[in-house]
Structure 1
């Protein structure tokens, strides 16, 4: 892990700065085919997007081996190159490169970029405190975090939290906890970044539930309490509409 002074090198990156240049890999024929192939009777579904969300779903269900096999066979990864690179840099505490990657993503709004940079700098600051490098942590807070347009309250809360950790003697964090915090920061970063860089969580499940809900809403005679099946389109026939009413008779005494 880099020392505090080396990690402070992230300060040379401005919020709107440029990222390190990376060479683009030449696309193989399989990738080119996946990028243009369309699926479905109406040819509305992009094959590479469809496969990508299937792989994401397999990962979320715990079928890691199946997801890896599908990635290998299709030549499609559920994580974009930018997402993979950012993951590697964050998990390895390469904060300078992490910020460079975020600054190099063109389609981010300034608000999203600032929020993403805040997450990276917050983790860097926390690790500086954990090593006892208070001067670097303070420099990051003053020179990099404060200018970010994330709201004064957010910056003040970070500063207050930093001070509280020091006062309570809780700034020191063990290596396993540091790794877990990096992963949590990465998850929050992925939630901020837009498609196609990252995929919204549970994308395939969302599509299926949306389709089921639409079928139920368009069902003219919907009066069924039976479980909905994915094996067939939902439909209630007229025979399921009640034709008789049952009224309680009031007995007069």
Structure 2
């Protein structure tokens, strides 16, 4: 972005146009990262990043209560994001504000070009990176380093940079230098022993598996952009505006409107032109249909991923599969000799797993209804049934769970030469009530009834730090993106847990639970709702973001237990106006 033809301080998205992104020369203004050179601690709220070249006609420092410089610089970044570079240049010229100061521009360039010593030098304030022939001895513009965000850890940032350097060397098969970086540059941090161990194992990884095991994006350029995003969050926002900040602010505006709209149930984002509200009339709050084909309690219901079918599992030892237009039953699966506890659709919807108290899981072809394989855990006690199952993203591998401590988790693959033999059995010692696999196949989440949620890496089978709770849990359910987990608690609450941080971020209260397995799920067009069964015969629906109980719907009547229990719920992933529930009264409500 050319600010003015007669100045040497010319920037295009953070890089000098004259140097094509090389380290910029010392600026004419006496500032460091846009901060006055006599104060660069980052503690003063008055510190600014804008390298103000010259002032436009006098304007008030605020715009409708907002800092004018912040608004203008975010607008400049937004215009560049959208491809309006000329407009961004005009705005910069007229306002006198530039998007980024020279140190920030040079840091951005060094990361994206993989000049790691230069990036570290700018970050720390050292001139050791500047080896250009035309550098001047008095050029101390970076001596103070970048101003970091509050709580940022310089060592963590250096670890990320050197980790990227290490991975790129592995990708280039320069194993000798990579090993030296691991030993001499990464290990001294002792930052994360588990991560260092994981990195060391990559030295023996075949080239074709490296990026998958390192959880790397498709290209080196993409990984550097991701690294820059992580680093930018550690740099003071007044120094380096996070990428796509204008779009982020628009997202927040729209999300706030959605959060304020209790019945927002559409995938169409609200308009920025006006405030938004949805009518309760269009929310699925009335029973449209009742299915009465089961002769026993209904323990689990689940829609196919394309929303075209519904599977229901029952105490009567059968599984029914319905199409979801007329709700005609297209298959009744009768192969189990005991209660069916769980059903799981493969991601491509061509297969379904049924789990039973007869200690067996069975895989069926959905189109024909034909059974493909029967699976048994190698157990010393035949009283333990199969409690749950979860598919991997390839629709060929899956995990089954059991209460049997000797064989609680088994990994299977239908492409194996012996598909009825597990490819991996986790070490004994705990029980599993419920299980889920993230959509990318990375994490396996297992509910241990001893108040523990266990998390495993599906690539290595290694157990990660667990999530411990203070109350008994009965079921889990993952969000579509695999980032959050719903957990039904026996104390009568549904907790939402962030899988990355392991923190409980929401608590939904009101439903009754304590004696039976009760299930919940996310629902709605954008998973804006949480819906759960209950031991009082009601269905509870909460707004996910603000935890408000928005509906308490009549569910199911008395069952053999004498209670009016809604045991299971599922929301159609393709039709936001449809969800199903099953209960002890042997019925399925749509």
Query: What is the TM-score of this pair, normalised by structure 2?
Result: 0.29
> Which has the higher mean CA deviation after the structures are superposed, 45-54 or 131-140?
131-140
Residue of structure 2 equivalent to 1:143: 184
Q: Which runs of 5+ in 2 are unaligned?
A: 1-24, 30-51, 125-144, 212-217, 280-590
In 1, distance between residues paired with 2:93 and 2:275? 33
Deviates more, 1:95-104 or 1:143-152: 143-152
Aligned length: 205
2:170 to 110, 119, 129: 129
2:510 is matched with none
The structure having more radius of gyration, on CA atoms, is 2
For residue 53 of structure 2, the aligned residue among 28, 44, 48 is 28
Instruction: Provide closer, same or farther for how the CA distance between residues 109 and 156 of structure 1 changes in structure 2, counting only shifts above 3 A.
Output: farther
Q: Which residue of 1 aligns with 2:246?
A: 204
- Residue 55 of structure 1 is aligned with which of 47, 57, 76? 76
Is the CA contact 2:61–2:68 (under 8 Å) kept in the aligned structure 1? yes
Q: Name the CA distance, whole Å, in 1 between partners of 2:257 and 2:113.
A: 47
CA distance in 2, matches of 1:136, 1:117: 18
Q: Partners of 2:185 and 2:246 in 1: how far apart?
A: 38
Match of 1:190 among 219, 226, 232: 232
Deviates more, 1:54-63 or 1:114-123: 54-63
Could you tell me how far apart the structure 2 residues matched to 1:89 and 1:233 are? 43
Asked whether the equivalents of residues 82 and 197 of structure 1 are also in contact (C-alpha less than 8 Å), the reply is no
Are the structure 2 counterparts of residues 156 and 65 from structure 1 closer, same or farther at C-alpha, using a change threshold of 3 Å?
farther
The TM-score, its normalising length taken from structure 1, stands at 0.59
Instruction: Give the Å deviation of 1:50.
Output: 0.2
- In the alignment, the residues of structure 1 paired with residue 204 and residue 89 of structure 2 have an alpha-carbon distance, to the nearest angstrom, of 44
CA distance in 2, matches of 1:212, 1:124: 38
**1:123-161 residue CA offsets vs partner (Å, 9 max, x unmatched):** 222333355543322121112212225321122222222
- 2: CA distance between counterparts of 1:92 and 1:215? 40
1:205–1:177 Cα change, 3 Å = closer
Matched, 1:37 2:61: yes
1:166–1:83 distance in 2 versus 1, CA, 3 Å:
same
Q: 1:143 to 1:73 in 2, by over 3 A?
A: same
Which residue of the partner structure matches residue 153 of structure 1? Answer: 194
CA distance in 2, matches of 1:75, 1:129: 45
Alignment of 1:159-174 (within 5 A): 159-165=200-206
Higher helix fraction: Structure 1 or Structure 2?
1
| The structure with more strand, counted as a fraction of residues | 2
* Runs of 5+ unmatched residues, structure 1: 1-21, 171-175, 220-224, 241-253
| Mapping of residues 61-140 of structure 1, within 5 Å | 61-103=82-124, 104-108=145-149, 112-140=153-181
Provide the rounded CA distance (Å) in 2 between the counterparts of 1:60 and 1:193.
20
- Tell me the SS of whatever aligns to 1:25: coil
Relative contact order higher in (CA < 8 Å, ≥ 6 apart): 1
